[in-house]
Structure 1
Amino acid sequence: MNSASRLHILDLLRGVAIVGTLATNIWIFSNPGSATLMPMDQGQSVVEVLQSVFVNGNFLAMLTILFGVGLYMKYQNSKASEVPWIPFYLLTMFILFIEGLFHFVFIFEYDILMTYAITGAIVAFLVQLKTKTITIWVIVTLSLHTFGILIYYMQTYIAFSDPTLYTAIQQIALETTSLYQFGTYFEQVLYRIENFFLLRSEAFSLIYGSIGLYLIGIRLYLAGAFNMDKKGILIQKKLMFWGFGIGLPLNLLSLVPGGYFEIPVRFLFAPVLTIGYIGLIAWLMNRGALRWIQKQFEVIGRTALSCYVLQSILASLYFYSFGLGFIGVDGILAVVVGVVLISICMLGFAHLTLKTFGVGPLEWLWKTLSKMPFKNRRYSAK
């Protein structure tokens, strides 16, 4: 298989992951306090049920896996250049961290770029290991992640079973929603700055899981899962079989009344179903199905970083007080309309920037700053 075909698959997957991430995060924009409350404390419409089974956590996991693939491709390219791998990639991750920090402070407190930057800085050292050793690291990091989630699971339900703590959590949720519904933009920025470590605690606590998913992306790439040949198709079918066969029943546990499985579904089971999605999307592309739709997702995927930040800007303008203020306005309808409108805007933005500049603005900035210290050396890392 040629590298161009493989890049098409990866762009397609990134585009799907970005739109899926929007469908996940938009619920937080529509009700900022909901991230504090457990799902069992909220009403579940049909749309929310479908989102909790098929969307919540799945596409963030896909994006994480694809960041691992991107890391390995940069590592491959760096070996053919005079650019030293570790200094180069640590610099790219530092720049990504700064972009994520700006995203957090000025737009959205549930930024993932800072987490990816820290994860990438760690995996940059692991990517140089032998394949079998990488597999061992997958097992170790995901085991540690599972252990941490189980502790978090127990602590959460203990806290929610305490009436005093539960009332305090509800109050925090109401105050958070009120801030974004009625507060000024500067009050919201100040809130994110003052509560940086509290708001980032969940993301940084998921580092082990992120490392594991990065390494899974590398293993899938090395195995040929993104190839458009017989071997690639066989792997894609296996991913569908195991991903849907195991992941779907596990994700359906989120339908159990009371929300008792919401935490393990979100943080443990969703990535299993994600593997099935990756296999299905790659298999459909190999078959040439839905070609026009694939092309649109590819366009978004080629500007994934810019579109990720853009969706946060548009969602905040759509829901928050300094924009249209749709928080509390028929939540389900506002969310569905928001996903459609923002997706259309992202697609139009991606088409425009690629046609005009050939690259997304944040992609250009990231690549330019990363290359700057090495501009006198032969450079091939993309």
Structure 2
Amino acid sequence: MTKRIDALDVLRGVAIMGTLGTNIWIFTDPGGPANFLGSDPNVAETFLRFLSNGKFLGLLTLLFGVGLELQYRSAVRRGLTWPGRYLWRAALLFAEGALHYILIFEFDVLMGYAITSMLVAYLIGRSDRAIRAWMITAGTLHVFLVSVLTAALLFGGGGIAGTATTLYSQGSWPEQVAARLRDLPVYRSELIFIIPMGIVLFLAGARLLRAGVFEERGARLRGRLVVAGLGVAAPLNLVTSFAGPAWFAVDRYILPPLVALGLLGLVTSIVLGLRGAPGVARTALGRVGRTALSCYVLQNLVASALCYGWGLGLAARLDWLRPWWVPVAWAGICLLFMILASLWLRRHERGPLELAWQWAYQAPWRKRATSPVA
């Protein structure tokens, strides 16, 4: 498959905006990320968090699996060894995620995707039977881990204890960097915890691509995904959102990935059903999707500058307007990177970080190709 899949760009754009919809609640908590994890929001904030929590992480993870399948097909078509160069690609993603974590955001997902992609790269070319067995095994492990954590929260105190700090409302950027390095085991624990879920969703994305979910022939499959994800999982997810902090893991790691499947089916059906020239919304989302890595890092950088004490400090200043000012901040940041993505793509084929990443990816083979022959 060499033709660009338009629905993928739109889905990536939706996933990037939705990921900020989850992260914005962390940035706008004046007590910092640790306090956010243990917070007990009111009804309005609980509902607003429900709209994005875990769902777009799941969607983005599915799309990484689709991308891995496309990379595998490209390698096979060109006669390249697999996973071969892909491992270098994953290593670069890990390095980029590490810098993103240290310099900008505690809950970076790129490092986790890099580790998961290295594992799944060795599975992607195996038979459907083998892939199904790996999905069942990883899925069972994931459900077991979530069940253990949920039982511990239910019978051990009812939730995750929050720890408020003035580091984010009053501290400097170097102090926050030092705290991320010091607390690395705490903040990176999620990365290890969700690897089984990542394996399942990566492989699910690859299998959905093979099943034709992005083609006209996949209409029936997309319909099933919408019913299961939005008709069944979403209402259950709403219940767990209000069930209390002890259900945190189920509310984020079990039901939202199922909702993500429904979102994938719905958005893809809408894109395939549109006729004529793309409208403003589809064009803007597609451009964000084409610059997804740049927009992901930019949104977290801008949110930090707006909310933290070393920037405008809006998290503390506007806490009295919570939760209502938070969706406004989300919309403003989204509008900003949609405009910037559109302006950038007028002159370039890829986003700025994508261009830098592509240069680094090609560097070892570029040097080898230009080395003089003895």
When normalised by structure 2's length, the TM-score is: 0.91
**Residue 207 (structure 2) aligns with:** 219
- Does structure 1 residue 128 correspond to structure 2 residue 125? yes
Three-state SS of the structure 2 residue aligned to 1:261 is helix
**Residue 349 (structure 2) aligns with:** 358
Match of 2:157 among 153, 157, 160: 160
Three-state SS of the structure 2 residue aligned to 1:327 is helix
What value does the CA root-mean-square deviation take over the aligned residues? Answer: 2.1
**What are the Cα deviations for residues 88-118 of structure 1, in whole angstroms up to 9, with x where unaligned?**
1110011001100110001001000000000
Say if 1:305 and 1:362, in contact at 8 Å, map to a contact too: yes
* 2-structure distance, mates of 1:40, 1:257: 15
Cα distance, 1:43 vs structure 2? 2.7
Cα distance, 1:373 vs structure 2? 2.3
Name the structure where helix makes up a greater proportion of residues: 1
* 2-structure distance, mates of 1:155, 1:323: 38
Say if 2:222 and 2:269, in contact at 8 Å, map to a contact too: yes
Cα distance, 1:39 vs structure 2? 7.1
**What are the Cα deviations for residues 243-288 of structure 1, in whole angstroms up to 9, with x where unaligned?**
2232122212134453443320211011111111111101111211
Three-state SS of the structure 1 residue aligned to 2:121 is helix
**Residue 372 (structure 2) aligns with:** none
Match of 2:268 among 282, 287, 303: 282
**Residue 145 (structure 1) aligns with:** 142
Cα distance, 1:154 vs structure 2? 2.1
**Residue 241 (structure 1) aligns with:** 227
Give the gaps of 5 or more residues in structure 2. 370-374
Cα pair distance change 1:117/1:33, threshold 3 Å: farther
Three-state SS of the structure 2 residue aligned to 1:225 is coil
Report matched runs for 1:164-179 at 5 Å.
169-170=161-162, 173-175=163-165, 178-179=166-167
* 2-structure distance, mates of 1:187, 1:157: 35
Cα distance, 1:199 vs structure 2? 1.1
Report matched runs for 1:1-382 at 5 Å.
4=3, 7-31=5-29, 33=31, 35-36=33-34, 41-52=39-50, 54-160=51-157, 169-170=161-162, 173-175=163-165, 178-227=166-215, 229=216, 231-288=217-274, 291-328=279-316, 329=318, 330-375=321-366
Cα distance, 1:374 vs structure 2? 2.9
Cα pair distance change 1:123/1:137, threshold 3 Å: same
Cα distance, 1:37 vs structure 2? 5.4
**What are the Cα deviations for residues 192-224 of structure 1, in whole angstroms up to 9, with x where unaligned?**
011112210122211111111101100110100
* 1-structure distance, mates of 2:245, 2:182: 31
Cα pair distance change 1:51/1:127, threshold 3 Å: same
Cα distance, 1:337 vs structure 2? 1.7
Three-state SS of the structure 2 residue aligned to 1:85 is coil
Q: Percent identity?
A: 34
- Matched length: 363
* 2-structure distance, mates of 1:208, 1:89: 20
Three-state SS of the structure 2 residue aligned to 1:356 is coil
Say if 2:233 and 2:259, in contact at 8 Å, map to a contact too: yes
Give the gaps of 5 or more residues in structure 1. 378-382
Three-state SS of the structure 2 residue aligned to 1:114 is helix
Three-state SS of the structure 1 residue aligned to 2:312 is coil
Cα pair distance change 1:219/1:268, threshold 3 Å: same
* 2-structure distance, mates of 1:51, 1:256: 11
Cα distance, 1:35 vs structure 2? 4.6
